[in-house]
């Protein structure tokens, strides 16, 4: 019922910046929060950042804290991830995800991919050294 489409990925050099976008459509009224995850070859899918749709609660992974900003545009039903000072270790497929579950609190499981019920197709970010 909820459809998510990521965009904004690409090939960049270390130190560059990217802004990823996630556009939501369909029955989005029940969505509680949106999150960004990434998955590198041979690695588990990991949480990057997340934001609640109505409450404005934000979380970041330690690996991107201080150089990334998650934001939303409610009029456009779009969530953004601004990433600065990109490193080769940031290379991965980046996915946006939506959850109907009220999980954005300490111990709520917001970093767990299984707590998100809708996923986009992903956008590739490649950072060269």
Kindly give the pairing relationship between strand 92-99 and strand 33-39. Answer: antiparallel
Residues 45 and 95: beta-carbon distance below 8 Å: yes
| Residues contacting residue 57 through CB under 8 Å, at least 6 positions apart | 33, 51, 104, 105
CA angle 5–120–8, rounded 5-degree value: 50
The answer to whether residues 8 and 95 touch, using CB atoms and an 8 Å cutoff, is: no
Do 112 and 33 touch, CB atoms closer than 8 A?
no
CA 62 to chain centre: 14
The whole-number pLDDT of residue 41 equals: 94
- Model pLDDT, residue 28: 87
Q: What is the pLDDT of residue 15?
A: 98
Tokens at residue 116, please? 């998100």
Per-residue confidence (pLDDT) for residue 109, from 0 to 100: 96
Both tokens assigned to 77: 């039903």
Q: Which two tokens stand for residue 40?
A: 């590198």
> pLDDT tens digits, the chain, 129 residues: what are they?
899 999 999 999 999 999 999 999 998 889 999 999 999 999 999 999 999 998 789 999 999 999 999 999 999 999 999 999 999 999 999 999 999 999 999 999 999 999 999 999 999 999 999
């Amino acid at each position: 019922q909820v459809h998510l489409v990521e965009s904004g990925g690409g090939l960049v050099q270390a130190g560059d910046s990217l802004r990823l976008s996630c556009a939501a459509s369909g029955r989005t009224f029940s969505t509680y929060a949106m999150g960004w995850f990434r998955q590198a070859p041979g690695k588990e899918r990991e949480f990057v950042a997340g934001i609640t749709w109505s409450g404005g609660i934000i979380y970041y992974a330690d690996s991107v804290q201080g150089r990334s900003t998650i934001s939303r545009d409610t009029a456009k039903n779009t969530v953004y991830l601004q990433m600065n000072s990109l490193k080769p270790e940031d290379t991965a497929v980046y996915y946006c995800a939506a959850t109907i579950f009220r999980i954005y609190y300490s111990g709520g499981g917001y970093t767990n991919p299984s707590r998100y019920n809708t996923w986009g197709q992903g956008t590739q970010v490649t950072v060269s050294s």
